[in-house]
A and B are shown apart, each in its own frame.
Chain A
Amino acid sequence: MRTRVPALGAEGWFTEDGGPALVGGRCATCGTVTFPAVTYFCANPGCGGREFTRARLGPTGTVWSYTDLRYQPPPPFVPATAPYTPFALLAVEVDDCGLVVIGQAVAGVGVDDLRVGASVELVIDTLFSDDDHDYTIWKWRPSERAR
């Protein structure tokens, strides 16, 4: 039985508590939001804040752009399947935070299913697996297909 753990580097970047969402940072001084969370100096050059809280982002958004990766990306990418299966990547305007965030599409979604401006929602899914673990990551799923 494999256990689910966040993929290396993405620990603390998303949550499934209360439903799937990204976890960013919010500046306690100016309120600006970052993803991944900035925790040492506010990204807003007019602020200078150094105190941050966690910000729950998503789970809904709008497609900013998208592509299909027909060639296997080079390491450190780890293919989920052998042989490699092409997958789509989306850049999504996440609702209510003014951020555009890249994520993989869930399996089976390709460019023909996507359009700039289409609604998507976030799911927590497996990035790749080994004998002991399913390594998890956020992915985007077209809203119409989710229902």
Chain B
Amino acid sequence: MSDVVVAGVGMTAWGKWGRRFVEYGVEAATEALADAGLDWPDVQFVAAGETVRNGYAGYVAASSIAQALGWSGAQLATAYGACASGTMAIDIARARILAGLCDVALVVGADTTPKGFLAPNAGDRPSDPDWLRFRLLGAANPVYFAFMARRRMDLYGATQEDFAAVKVKNSRHGRANPRARYRREVTVEEVLASPVVSDPLHLLDICATSDGGAALVLVSEAKARQLAGASPAVRLRGVASITPRYPNTVLELPNISADSSLVVAPPPRGYMDSIADAAYEQAGIGPDDIDVAEVYDLATAIELDWYEHLGFCAPGGAEKLLRDGETALGGRIPVNPSGGLACFGEAVPAQAIAQVGEITWQLQGRATGRQVSRARTGLTANKGLFGHGSAVVLST
């Protein structure tokens, strides 16, 4: 199968800037187009992650950004996959290029986020699982992260200092990233001194919400040869945008119950394992081939879960991998060299696109101040509520 090439990357600085989401999308898109050496009218297809409020579709995305850039008659699609929306948009654009329906696609995600907990919109909706988990249980998002963190503590001996060390590592990585919102190194003591939100997680263990935009220009191999830009071509080798397999016996946001294993045995590889498995299989590679990864650190402890599910170490081995410095810059498998959500905060439909943008820069040797040396192959991993798995494998 021929590959799809990332011809251009664009990204705003993350923060709370008070602008409209469309402006962030336009800023990212124009940077990506300039990076690719293309003009907006060259774009045949626009795929956007849907801009959302509180887990729900609130605004259109692809057409809003296309209108802001000047309506050009491009074909378009808007994808909603919660935190995985960006990967879904990438997947759609890639499929259209591989199908021969277009040669140049623009993928955009942009959002503005409210302060504080994400929560459902107002009004009684007792048939809605997202409403029910707040109303009946008070189970805001950090609860689900805290469940996984507590299991790591009781099963593997993880400590709150380990979780804080993830924040310390990522805050150190993000210091030199001009797009990061937080660019100050945080200490373990500061994390542990911050208020407990959902035990064992402190405020500084949990990512902030941010405004931001990210964009990619994806092109066919034929178009990439025409463009022949200054940077090495980075190829999309695998894109997973997948559901769990029944029975998914680990609690999935926003559900209040997992699937039953009474009649059907759980699959040998659980949901979080299967997300990267799907992208590895498409790429024909495995975890040993990965030089750098951007993973979804909504909370510090989740990053440790990812190390295991992505195959960087065996179950229960994540704390040692972290403590040994293997996932820091200079280690065997640097994770979140961008600074991750710890430094960016979350802008839901942009984040998965930003992850792919960072890996592209890493593979092109353009990640100044946070560059992973000799990175040839990279991975992104992410998961959106309602069962949206997301992983992308890229290589030069």
Where the two chains meet, the residues of A that have a C-beta atom closer than 8 Å to any C-beta of B are 7-10, 30-36, 43-46, 64-71, 73-78, 87, 89, 91, 97-104, 111, 115-117, 127, 137
Contacts of B120 in A (CB 8 A): 76
Contacts of B131 in A (CB 8 A): 9, 76
Cβ-defined contact, A77 with B138, below 8 A: yes
Cβ-defined contact, B147 with A91, below 8 A: yes
Number of chain B residues close to chain A: CB under 8 A: 47
Q: Tell me the total A-B contact number using a CB cutoff of 8 A.
A: 147
Cβ-defined contact, A70 with B260, below 8 A: no
C-beta contact mask, B130-147 vs A, less than 8 Å → 1, else 0?
011111111110010011
Residue from the list B126, B135, B137, B258 in contact with A99, Cβ < 8 A? B258
A45 to B263, CA, bound (A): 12
Contacts of A30 in B (CB 8 A): 263
Contacts of A66 in B (CB 8 A): 147, 150
Contacts of A31 in B (CB 8 A): 262-263
Nearest CB in chain B: distance from A91 CB, A:
5
Contacts of B102 in A (CB 8 A): none
Q: Chain B at the A interface: mostly helix, strand, loop or mixed?
A: loop
8 Å CB interface, B154-169 against A: 154-155
- Interface 9-mer from B31-39, B194-202, B329-337, B353-361: B194-202
A87 to B138, CA, bound (A): 9
Cβ-defined contact, B150 with A89, below 8 A: no
A115 to B196, CA, bound (A): 19
Cβ-defined contact, A44 with B138, below 8 A: no
Cβ-defined contact, A65 with B260, below 8 A: no
Output the residue of A31, A69, A137 with the most chain B CB within 10 A: A69
Residue of B nearest to A116 (CB): B154
Given A31-B262, A76-B131, 8 more contacts at CB 8 Å?
Answer: A36-B257, A44-B264, A65-B150, A67-B146, A76-B135, A98-B247, A100-B250, A116-B154
Contacts of B150 in A (CB 8 A): 65-67, 111, 116
Nearest CB in chain A: distance from B31 CB, A:
35
